[in-house]
């Protein structure tokens, strides 16, 4: 693997879903020590992870889960598949506020098209159905790219859902703010590094956040026994017998044949702790594959979004 490119002012390069003005950038700036990083905006989650794997950036920050819409499937699939050589080394929670943005003041009934990231409409479904039922919602690679495209196009009937930060950057006009279905909407972002386990470097997180953080471990597993009665129960009991709390469990298709699934689990504790390591070893005896996605400081509280 090629070494990372030369850094400006000695700062580490961190890839994120760009361009400027995305929630990913807000999460990056909220969680990292600002004098230690050089943000690098990239076109997609895939491109962000790929840049990390190629060594073009030192770390990457990608969305992994939203409190309203659930997991970001492209991130999970990458971590379980072709990007299995990267590790989760940290996380941050960002409180998410969405804004409707156009090029100039406009009445809602005049809007016929809305651009935004595909994950966003489900977070703003009530507003879209009740206030913009006449508008077609089209996907963009990110919320910031949606705002940039709307501002560049200039057509009055075109609007975007994005952040107020993006509106300021690209010259948009905020028509409505706080259009998300719930005020407690938040997204979890994962810090990624090259390498596995202890070989993956810790990111430049704010020292105070790391000092007070509890640890969590994420893993994915699957096995030929998945089609036998009680197999998943036996897998999960390896944690229950050791009083390990699972904070998340989710299944995803393995993309091989219908009915084949992999299971993602988040648990409290550090892989270096004896009881956690024993549970993972016991799980391995029941599975075809167990991959530890990372063991890392858990986010302490949601960061406010400027959106």
Segments forming the whole domain that contains residue 139: 99-177
Q: What is the CATH number of the domain that holds 73?
A: 3.40.190.10
pLDDT reading at 100 higher than 90: yes
Q: Are residues 191 and 62 in the same domain?
A: yes
The total of structural domains in the chain comes to 3
pLDDT of residue 211: 58
Whether 104 and 97 have beta carbons less than 8 Å apart is answered as no
pLDDT of residue 306: 59
Q: Are residues 59 and 190 in the same domain?
A: yes
pLDDT bucket at 209, cuts 50 / 70 / 90: low
| Within a domain: 136 | yes
Q: Are residues 240 and 112 in the same domain?
A: no
| Within a domain: 113 | yes
What is the tens place of the pLDDT at every residue in 166-190?
Answer: 999 999 999 999 999 988 889 999 9
Strand locations in the chain (E): 12-17, 37-42, 59-66, 70-71, 86-95, 99-102, 113-116, 136-139, 158-162, 173-177, 186-194, 215-222, 246-253, 261-268, 289-297
| Within a domain: 40 | yes
Q: Are residues 235 and 116 in the same domain?
A: no
Residue 11, SS3? Answer: coil
The CA distance from 75 to 146, in Å, is 21
Top pLDDT among 162 and 258 is at 162
Pick the closest to residue 77 from 68, 88, 66, 64 (CA basis).
64
What is the tens place of the pLDDT at every residue in 212-234?
Answer: 678 999 999 998 776 788 999 99
pLDDT of residue 201: 62
pLDDT bucket at 33, cuts 50 / 70 / 90: confident
Top pLDDT among 300 and 301 is at 300
pLDDT bucket at 5, cuts 50 / 70 / 90: very low
Q: What is the CATH number of the domain that holds 278?
A: 3.30.70.260
Q: Are residues 165 and 241 in the same domain?
A: no
| Within a domain: 208 | no
DSSP string computed for 132-189: -TTSEEEE-SSHHHHHHHHHHH--TTEEEEE-HHHHHHHT-EEEEE--SS-TT-EEEE
pLDDT of residue 6: 47
Q: Which of 33-47, 114-128, 274-288 has the lowest mean pLDDT?
A: 33-47
Q: Are residues 58 and 105 in the same domain?
A: no
| Within a domain: 162 | yes
Q: What would the two tokens of residue 39 be?
A: 């943000």
Q: Are residues 63 and 121 in the same domain?
A: no
Q: Are residues 148 and 113 in the same domain?
A: yes
Q: Which of 56-65, 69-78, 226-235, 270-279 has the lowest mean pLDDT?
A: 226-235
- Laid out side by side, the sheet with 99-102 consists of 136-139, 113-116, 158-162, 99-102, 173-177
Residue 97, SS3? Answer: coil
pLDDT reading at 93 higher than 80: yes
């Amino acid at each position: 693997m090629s070494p990372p490119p030369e850094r400006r002012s000695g700062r580490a390069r961190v890839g994120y879903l760009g361009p400027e003005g995305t929630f990913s950038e807000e999460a990056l700036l909220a969680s990292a020590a600002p004098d230690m990083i050089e943000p690098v905006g990239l076109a997609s989650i895939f491109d962000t992870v790929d840049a990390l794997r190629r060594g073009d950036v030192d770390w990457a920050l990608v969305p992994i889960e939203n409190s309203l819409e659930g997991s970001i499937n492209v991130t999970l699939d990458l971590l379980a598949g072709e990007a299995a050589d990267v590790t989760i080394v940290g996380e941050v929670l960002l409180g998410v506020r969405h804004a409707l943005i156009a090029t100039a003041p406009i009445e809602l009934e005049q809007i016929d098209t809305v651009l935004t990231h595909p994950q966003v409409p489900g977070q703003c479904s009530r507003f879209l159905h009740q206030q913009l039922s006449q508008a077609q919602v089209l996907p963009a690679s990110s919320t910031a790219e949606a705002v940039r495209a709307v501002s560049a196009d200039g057509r009055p009937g075109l609007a975007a859902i994005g952040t107020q930060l993006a509106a300021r950057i690209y010259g948009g006009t905020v028509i409505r703010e706080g259009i998300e279905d719930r005020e407690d909407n938040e997204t979890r972002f994962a810090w990624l590094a090259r390498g596995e386990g202890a070989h993956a470097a810790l990111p430049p997180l704010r020292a105070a956040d790391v000092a007070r953080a509890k640890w969590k471990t994420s893993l994915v597993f699957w096995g030929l026994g998945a089609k036998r009665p009680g197999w998943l129960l036996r897998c999960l009991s390896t944690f229950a017998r050791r009083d390990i709390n699972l904070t998340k469990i989710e299944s995803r298709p393995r993309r091989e044949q219908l009915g084949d699934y992999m299971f993602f689990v988040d648990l409290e504790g550090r892989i270096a702790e004896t009881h956690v390591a024993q549970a993972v070893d016991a799980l391995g005896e029941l599975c075809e594959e167990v991959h530890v996605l990372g063991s890392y400081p858990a986010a302490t509280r949601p960061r406010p979004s400027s959106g």
